[in-house]
Amino acid sequence: MTDPLVTYAADGAVGTITLDSPHNRNALSAALVEQLQAALAAAAADETRVVVVGSADRVFCSGADLKEAGAGGMEQGARTLADLQRTIVTHPKAVVVRLAGPVRAGGLGIVAAADLVVCADDVTFAFTESRLGLAPAVISLTVLPRLTSRAAADTFLSGRTFGAAEAAAMGLVTRAVPPEQLDAAVAQVCGDLAQAHPQGLRETKQLLARDLVARIDAQAAEMATLSARLFASDGAREAMTAFLERRRT
């Protein structure tokens, strides 16, 4: 038995999902995504009203697992990431992301799919795909509706790193607070959400998510195919190899 990459624990009205794959900075490996789906299913079936998704290590998610990507066959991986975003968007409970550390590329699909995002104000973000010969194809399903078109063009095209205040201003996160206030802020958000009647919470979430679900259903297959084509390209393979070699030095 290998150690779990994702854990789930319920405490009263709040269920907590923790990403715990520090060896690759919570990269979206096939195993991690599968375990995250299982944790979300467990949360959907119990008596909690709110689900918090966070990380055991400081890094929330470093994006796609580039080692798996280098082995090829990324279309299925892209489809499972689209499915994961849809699971979060359509989850019967309110999903809150707790960000204590950086999040990159594919991890931002989880952030954008969540209902609310509370982050420490020293957290950094980047859509790094363009620098690796890729495009943020599958995560665009949930990210683009959260951003203005100018913010999307700025951050998608450049791949630059930006901070929590800018992420909040562009609509990517709900609230940024000092790191020492993060847990209290998440607890307050969860407490407010737990006051809602389960039916009211569920039905209101469905109302808010209608357009997002329709977008995912209409475009997921196309975006997965695009993602797979780019990951398989010579340009992306060269860029990813160079990135991995720099990280090892």
* Amino acid in the structure at residue 232: A
pLDDT band at 75; cut points 50, 70, 90? confident
Average pLDDT over residues 191-214: 97
Could you tell me the CATH superfamily of domain 6-180+189-194?
2-enoyl-CoA Hydratase; Chain A, domain 1 (3.90.226.10)
Ramachandran region, residue 94 (left: φ > 0; alpha: ψ -120 to 50; beta: rest): beta
pLDDT score recorded for residue 249: 41
For the chain, which residues make up each domain, given as ranges?
6-180+189-194
pLDDT score recorded for residue 212: 98
Is the pLDDT reported for residue 55 higher than 60?
A: yes
The string of DSSP codes covering 11-55 is ETTEEEEEE--GGGTT-B-HHHHHHHHHHHHHHHHSS-SEEEEEE
Cα distance between residue 182 and residue 176, in whole Å: 8
Average pLDDT over residues 131-153: 97
pLDDT score recorded for residue 243: 82
Element (DSSP H or E) covering residue 53: strand 50-55
pLDDT score recorded for residue 242: 87
